[in-house]
Structure 1
Amino acid sequence: MNVTSFFPSRTVAAYMARLFLTRTFGIAAGLVLVLLTLNLLSESSKILGVAGNGQAEVMRYVSLRGPQLIAFAIPYSVLLGTILTLMTMNQNSEIIALKASGLSAHQVLAPLLLASLGVAIVSFAFNDRVVTRATATLNRWQKVDYAALPPDRGDRTNVWVRDGDDLIEVDSIAGRGATARLAGVTLYDRTGGSLVSIIRAPAGKLEGDGWRIGPATRFDVASGQLTSIGSVVVARGVRPDQFTLGTVDADGLSFGALRAAIGDLGGAGRPTKALEGSLWHKLSGPLSSVLMPLLGAVAAFGLARSGQLFVRAVIGMALGFAYFVADNFALAMGNLGAYPPFLAAWAPFLLFFLIGEAVLIRSEE
């Protein structure tokens, strides 16, 4: 059987896809505009409260926060766009005409499913290339309370690592693994919780199982004397990943970068279950757009017999929003380690796919 025979005619399929996409992106634009306006009401005073900040910084915040809100709004917009499209077609008896021509419920929904797959692909690319970068930059900006940011070269800054009782502060780290280079190293030498001395050095690199820093100076707390000690090896047993991967923000990393970070952490013997769940969710999240036409389809079928258009629309919205609640709950449980990573990311999708199919088949009977 020809694959195209599963769809309605080309004209009908294009008509349904156009209705669906225009309503989806129209709703998304409205949601983003409202959410961004409300967000600016709370953040603009903080931005403008920093000396030197003005309209340019506010617009910069909009450019960074906007992609996050777009990614948040798209799945909800697909759900509402599906329900609005099917309600309109049902009110105009177009669904009845399609069913009378011999099309099944799945064939009627086929154009919306194909269009939503396109939305999912675009959403994944947008999240991976735009949203992650905007999130990482916005997080760095908010950490300095919207003050001026130094150029971002991908290096980590202001890192603290604990080595037994000692604390190590590093201004910046460049490179990964054995090639990692430290800049602005400060070692707080403590014994029993009491500070003994402070060792400072402008640079450091990995040597054996420790870090050679120099030229170093040592300030002795008891005597108050500052002495030069040249090059010295400190922090024996501290791994490079403790500096470069001390904290991994899954939302601020692309799919490939997050997978590489998980590999580094796993190679160092550190737990990665929560990050693995976030990695899988980078795929299942955008793909939820394909699920929305199936969950919202209850607004299209069975109306000729029941006549309860509004009730069916509410049922469709309830199913869609229940999916988002279940998805967030499963991801949270995965982060806590209660669910395996794959299950945390994909179980809600598979569960509501089966629910949507059951409701669709029930509506046709």
Structure 2
Amino acid sequence: MNLNFFPSRRMAFYMAKLFVTRSFAVLLALVLVLMTLDLLGESGKILRVPGNGEAELWRYVSLRVPMLIAQFLPFAALLGTLITFTTMNQNSEVVAMKAAGLSAHQILAPLVVASLGIAAVSFVFNERVVTKATRAVTAWDDNDYKPLPPDSGIISNVWLMAGDDLVKARQVIGRGRATRVQGLTIYDREGNRLLRVIDAARAAQTAGGWRLRDVQIYDTAMNMTLRRPEMLALEGVEPQRFTLAKVDPDERDFTDLRQAIAALEQGGRPTAEAEAGLWHKLAKPLSTVLMPLLAAIAGFGLARSGKVLLRATIGMALGFAYFVADNFAMALGNVGAYPPLLAAWAPFLLFLLIGETVLIRSEE
């Protein structure tokens, strides 16, 4: 067995260059098209708010582009590999490499190494940029694209139970004792019967509960709406109830998410979704490494056999099957049907074996 995966440095750089340039070209095209379609759908909502203009449109673009890059980078790597190998196969470059003594794994090795570098950059990019952009655009969207306070710790649309009462917080800002709520609604219930609906413009923690300001109370028994400048409510509800009621892995970096999981465990709350999201933060960037292996079937086999298109289709089908399996496993992990570790890593390991098997059976 020849374990020298890079017998020619020139050939390795050539293969890696083809893969990287084509993958990023596909990524650029995908992001441009999808961002245009997304902006066409959201621009009306953004401009409907008084005071919003061109600057807000560009802000939305700056927030959405990183999210699109993170989401479609593995797709771009898959298509980039297919384009690279299909072109090389049609030009008989793969035949020439094999005639020079290179095996399929030696041809594929530079692409795997390049995809490892892309995966590392993708992980850092997700942690530093994408999580902040996701948190900001989600809070902005939930606020109907109205101006938001300049605070990075905003959590939007939080629901929780306080006894029989159902509580909705439109925005939760800050942590610990400094937690404050914008747009609080309390559905005051007794059993299954709704007694009052309490709306407050803002709320802050105080001794004995939460102090609500600019309060509007709808009494269902009297069918009347009362207004008060302030009132005390939600006795015994700790700030952590709001900050931990909604733990979205896409909006938190790896360290922050680990701390949130520890807090959820300490409070006896379910952690399956957060733990699956934590492991998926590692598995998702590494999915880029799978794409050259799954799409490699397009590069092997004689072009004159007339099966280049069929091989490219098989490679594309394998890649998209991985994304379907990954989303399905994560959905099962989020509801607790799969263990979080299995939900995040099982599709990756399964398709790693499938890709290697297809490569060996078809070429080696």
Q: TM-score, normalised by structure 1?
A: 0.85
Report the Cα distance in structure 2 between the residues aligned to 1:24 and 1:307, rounded to whole angstroms. 25
Structure 2 CA distance for partners of 1:2 and 1:72, relative to 1, 3 Å: same
Q: CA, structure 1 residues 164+91, in 2 after alignment: closer, same or farther (shift >3 Å)?
A: same
Q: Which moved more, 1:97-106 or 1:24-33?
A: 97-106
Choose 112-121 or 147-156, whichever is displaced more: 147-156
Flag the structure with larger Rg. Answer: 1
- Determine the structure 1 residue equivalent to 2:175: 175
Residue 259 of structure 2 corresponds to: 260
- How far does residue 279 in structure 1 lie from its aligned partner after superposition? 1.0
Give the equivalent residue in structure 1 for 2:79.
80
Alignment-mate amino acid for residue 204 of structure 1 = Q
Verify the 8 A CA contact 1:155 1:175 in the aligned structure 2: no
CA distance in 2, matches of 1:214, 1:130: 35
Q: Do the aligned partners of 2:151 and 2:173 also contact (CA within 8 Å) in 1?
A: no
Counterpart contact for 2:185–2:197, Cα < 8 Å: no
Percent same amino acid at aligned positions?
58
Distance 1:102 1:29, change over 3 A: same
| Deviation, structure 1 residue 156 | 4.6
Return 250-259 or 146-155, whichever deviates more: 146-155
Aligned to 2:243: 244
Distance in 1 between residues matched to 2:351 and 2:130, nearest whole Å? 26
Deviations 1:123-158 (A, max 9, x none): 111111111111110011111111111111425577
Residue in 1 aligned with 2:302? Answer: 303
Question: What is the CA deviation profile of residues 18-50 of structure 1, one whole-angstrom value per residue up to 9, with x for unaligned ones?
Answer: 111110000100011111111112111111111
Q: Assess if the C-alpha contact under 8 Å between 2:189 and 2:195 holds in 1.
A: yes
* Deviations 1:151-210, CA, capped at 9 Å, x for gaps: 11425577564321346677755333xx455568897766554648989996435x7xx6
Name the CA distance, whole Å, in 1 between partners of 2:100 and 2:234. 79
What stretches of structure 1 of length at least 5 have no aligned partner? Answer: none
SS in 2 for 1:40: helix
Distance in 1, Cα, partners of 2:230 & 2:30: 61
Cα contact 2:322–2:347 (8 A) shared by 1? yes
Kindly provide the amino acid, as one letter, of the partner of residue 286 in structure 2: L
2:168, 2:316 → 1: CA distance? Answer: 51
Closer, same or farther: CA 160–310 of 1 in aligned 2, 3 Å:
closer
Q: In the aligned structure 2, how far is the partner of 1:2 from the partner of 1:121? A: 28
Aligned to 1:294: 293
- Aligned counterparts of 1:357 and 1:158: Cα–Cα separation in 2: 44
Task: Describe the shift of the 1:180–1:101 C-alpha distance in structure 2 as closer, same or farther (beyond 3 A).
Answer: same
Q: What CA RMSD, in Å, does the superposition of the two structures yield over aligned residues?
A: 3.5
Provide structure 2 residue ranges, at least 5 long, that are not aligned to the other structure.
Answer: none
Counterpart secondary structure, 1:204: strand
Question: Any conservation in 2 of the 1:173–1:243 contact (CA below 8 Å)?
Answer: no
Secondary structure at the residue paired with 2:37? helix
Letter of the aligned partner of 2:287 in structure 1?
S
Name the CA distance, whole Å, in 2 between partners of 1:165 and 1:349. Answer: 43
Shift in CA distance, 60/104, structure 1 to aligned 2, threshold 3 Å: same
For 2:150, the equivalent position in structure 1 comes to: 151
User: CA separation of 1:46/1:167 partners in 2, compared to 1, >3 Å: closer, same or farther?
Assistant: closer
- Alpha carbons 1:277, 1:342 under 8 Å: kept: yes
Cα 1:102–1:242, aligned 2, differ >3 Å: closer, same or farther?
same
Residue 135 of structure 2 corresponds to residue 133 of structure 1: no
Seen in structure 2, the aligned counterparts of structure 1 residues 169 and 314 have a Cα distance that, compared at 3 Å, is closer
Cα deviations by residue, 1:109-130 (Å, 9 ceiling, x for unpaired): 0100000111111111111111
**Aligned twin of 1:92:** 91
**Aligned-partner Cα distance in 1 for 2:309–2:197:** 72
| Number of residue equivalences | 357
- Please give the per-residue CA displacement for 1:254-293, whole angstroms capped at 9, x wherever unaligned: 1111111111101111000111111111111110000011
Contact kept, 8 Å, 1:241 with 1:268, in 2: the verdict is no
Aligned equivalents of 1:229 and 1:122: distance in 2?
A: 50
